[in-house]
């Protein structure tokens, strides 16, 4: 199941990078669709599986886009995964969309921190205003996608358990 989700996350990452990004996106922003797979793992599977998917995404970034991208993916991914896990496991009443928005914010905060460390410069904060607003939009999108996909994912899980 984890492998399946890893594959889904990587496929979404790849599909996203193939989009004509310059046309409609602001600097440094991506829709973050692969995070729906991470969110599903946080919601339905455990801590270990969630972080395995984050690690797979970072390795994928390392192979396709280099070390800097991998570090940024890892920092953002770990922070947003923590946020999702805590919200899903501990917080009552926060839905998919709220979790999507908060985890998108965490993801961007982690990436900015990684970029600041790589560049040895605090001025990356200049991107923060744009990223906060973009996070709201992408968070709503990923949250909605997760909500829509949830019944199908759950069916697959049940089918897998029946096989055992």
Residues that bind other proteins (CB under 8 A): 21-22, 25-28, 43, 65-66, 68-69, 72, 91, 93-98, 101-102, 105, 115, 118-129, 132-133, 135-136, 139-140, 143-144, 147, 150
* Shortest CB 63 distance to other proteins, Å: 13
CB atoms within 10 A of CB 14: 12
* Shortest CB 95 distance to other proteins, Å: 4
CB atoms within 10 A of CB 48: 9
Note whether 12 and 36 are within 8 A (CB).
yes
Please identify, using beta-carbon distances, which residue of 3 and 155 lies nearer to other proteins: 155
Whole-number Å distance between alpha carbons of 85 and 22: 32
* Shortest CB 133 distance to other proteins, Å: 4
Please identify, using beta-carbon distances, which residue of 129 and 162 lies nearer to other proteins: 129
Please identify, using beta-carbon distances, which residue of 37 and 131 lies nearer to other proteins: 131
Distance from chain centroid for Cα 36: 6
Please identify, using beta-carbon distances, which residue of 52 and 118 lies nearer to other proteins: 118
Q: Which of 43, 44, 124 is nearest to 76 (CA)?
A: 124
Whole-number Å distance between alpha carbons of 48 and 70: 20
* Shortest CB 149 distance to other proteins, Å: 13
Phi, psi angle pair for 52, to nearest 5°? -65, -40
Q: CA 138, 36, 143, 112 torsion: positive or negative? A: negative
* Shortest CB 35 distance to other proteins, Å: 16
Please identify, using beta-carbon distances, which residue of 3 and 15 lies nearer to other proteins: 15
């Amino acid at each position: 199941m984890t492998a399946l989700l890893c594959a889904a996350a990587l496929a979404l990452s790849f599909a996203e990078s193939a989009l004509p990004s310059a046309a409609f996106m602001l600097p440094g922003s991506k829709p973050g669709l692969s995070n729906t797979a991470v969110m599903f793992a946080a919601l339905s599977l455990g801590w270990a599986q969630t972080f395995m998917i984050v690690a797979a995404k970072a390795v994928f970034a390392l192979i396709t886009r280099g070390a800097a991208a991998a570090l940024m993916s890892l920092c953002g991914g770990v922070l947003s995964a923590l946020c999702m896990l805590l919200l899903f496991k501990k917080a009552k009443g926060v839905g998919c969309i709220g979790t999507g928005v908060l985890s998108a914010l965490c993801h961007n905060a982690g990436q900015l921190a990684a970029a600041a460390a790589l560049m040895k410069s605090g001025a990356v904060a200049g991107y923060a205003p744009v990223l906060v607003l973009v996070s709201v939009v992408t968070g709503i999108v990923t949250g909605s996608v997760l909500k829509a996909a949830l019944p199908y994912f759950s069916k697959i899980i049940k089918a897998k358990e029946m096989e055992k």
